[in-house]
Amino acid sequence: MLEAGLELTPGEIRVLSHVIRYQGSRQAVLAERMGVEPMTLSAYLDRLEVRGLIKRTTDPSDRRAKVIHNTEKAEKVLADARPISLDVYERATHGLSEAERGEVERLLQRIRMNMANDPLAAEEPRATASKRALAI
């Protein structure tokens, strides 16, 4: 994504997409959902906060915990990244029938749920291709 002019790494884009998807989550919960160590997530969040893409606020129910919110600037960045993600998706699935694309998407969703440590992933409605492309 750096070469695309977004000035964010793929890891930062992934974190940002999770922040938007799980708006207002505690930092520790977000790390668990993503399947990363809390310190790893903290480093990404530090960089995103410096760029003005996220805000950390104190959780009103626990002063020690931080909740994460995206900014309007973050939504613009992901909107700018969407065409890139869609292009990658189209190249990856070129030549597949609609049924084959559906099967690939179903299998990737299962893999994502296996890897994400996210109990809510199983409850999410089936996402559109553009949402999936940004979430993977």
Please give the mean pLDDT across all residues of the chain. 82
CB atoms near residue 42 (< 10 Å): 15
Measured from the Cβ of residue 16, the count of other Cβ atoms closer than 10 Å reads 24
Predicted TM-score (pTM) above 0.85: no
Summarised one tens digit per residue, pLDDT across range 82-103 is: 888 889 889 999 999 999 999 9
**The predicted structure's pLDDT at residue 128:** 47
Neighbour count for residue 6 (Cβ, 10 Å): 16
pLDDT in tens, 15-69: 998 999 899 999 999 998 888 899 999 999 999 999 999 999 998 898 888 999 9
**58 forms bridges with which residues in the sheet?**
66
6-12 LR contacts (CB < 8 Å, sep 24+): 6/77, 6/80, 6/81, 6/84, 7/51, 8/51, 8/77, 8/81, 11/44, 12/44, 12/47, 12/48
